[in-house]
Amino acid sequence: MTSVPATIIFDVNETLSDMRPLGDAFAHAGISASLAKPWFAEILRDGFALTAAGENPAFADIATDSLHRLLSAETTPGDHTEQVNQIMDTFKDLPLHPDAAPGIRALSQIAQLATLSNGATSVADNLMTRGKVREKFAHLLSVQSAARWKPAREAYDYAARELNQTHDQLLLVAVHPWDIHGANAAGMQTAWINRTGASYPTYFTPPDIEVESISDLADKLNGQ
């Protein structure tokens, strides 16, 4: 980390939103709660594949289609629209991680805040509003307005253009090493939120900062 960023950009899904309620939603739909995590990973995998093929899919379209197929495979074939809608409603109403709101408030005293998500801006807007931190964000950005999903270079270039800043003025905050790698390749500063004590993949460029929480990131940038 070489400088205080002009703008701190947050990834949204998993970085800010707590995915744990999805397990209960899966169980309520009649399938194992343990399938929630691989389901989300499949959305990312297929979104990345479409991005690599030159497309820019809607996150919700992939999520909905994959849920229909998952429910048919795990229960019985048929119309699972009600269960899919219930799971998607839960996904859209996830809470912030406990460390997110205090960290966001502290970081807003250091730099301008923005989001950059592979999902819709409405999801980020609702998440921040429920968490009572919406006013701390100057911009909510989505790759739906870019050429391709993160971690493609075009997504980070889009954010820099929208913010009217150079890449090295931006700090990308994420829990996903693939996002850290992509932002670093685009010339951004990076911060990895490692809440679980995981090992960082050696094949990805390491982050400039590694912390256990968003609150810890604020302390780090403040020099504590």
This model's pTM is above 0.85: yes
CATH number, residue 114: 3.40.50.1000
- The residue segments making up the domain with residue 39 are 21-92
Cis check for the bond before 151: say yes or no (omega within 30 of 0). Answer: yes
Q: What is the pLDDT of residue 124?
A: 97
The C-alpha atoms of residue 151 and residue 125 are separated, in whole angstroms, by 22
Tens-place pLDDT, residues 22-75:
999 999 999 999 999 999 999 999 999 999 999 999 999 999 999 999 999 999
CATH number, residue 53: 1.10.150
Tens-place pLDDT, residues 171-207:
999 999 999 999 999 999 999 999 999 999 999 999 9
Q: Where among 71, 92, 113 does a domain terminate?
A: 92
Yes or no: say if 15 and 175 are a contact pair by the CB < 8 Å rule: yes
Q: What is the full DSSP assignment across 8-43?
A: EEE--TTTTB--THHHHHHHHTTS-GGGHHHHHHHH
Confidence of residue 77 (pLDDT cuts 50, 70, 90): confident
R_g over Cα of the chain: 17
Q: What is the pLDDT of residue 2?
A: 57
Confidence of residue 224 (pLDDT cuts 50, 70, 90): low
Is 215 among the domain residues?
Answer: yes
Tens-place pLDDT, residues 158-170:
999 999 999 999 9
Q: Say how many Å lie between the first and final Cα of the chain, rounded.
A: 14
Is 2 among the domain residues?
Answer: no
Is 133 among the domain residues?
Answer: yes
Tens-place pLDDT, residues 145-159:
999 999 999 999 999
Q: What is the pLDDT of residue 223?
A: 82
Confidence of residue 3 (pLDDT cuts 50, 70, 90): confident
**Structural domain total, the chain:** 2
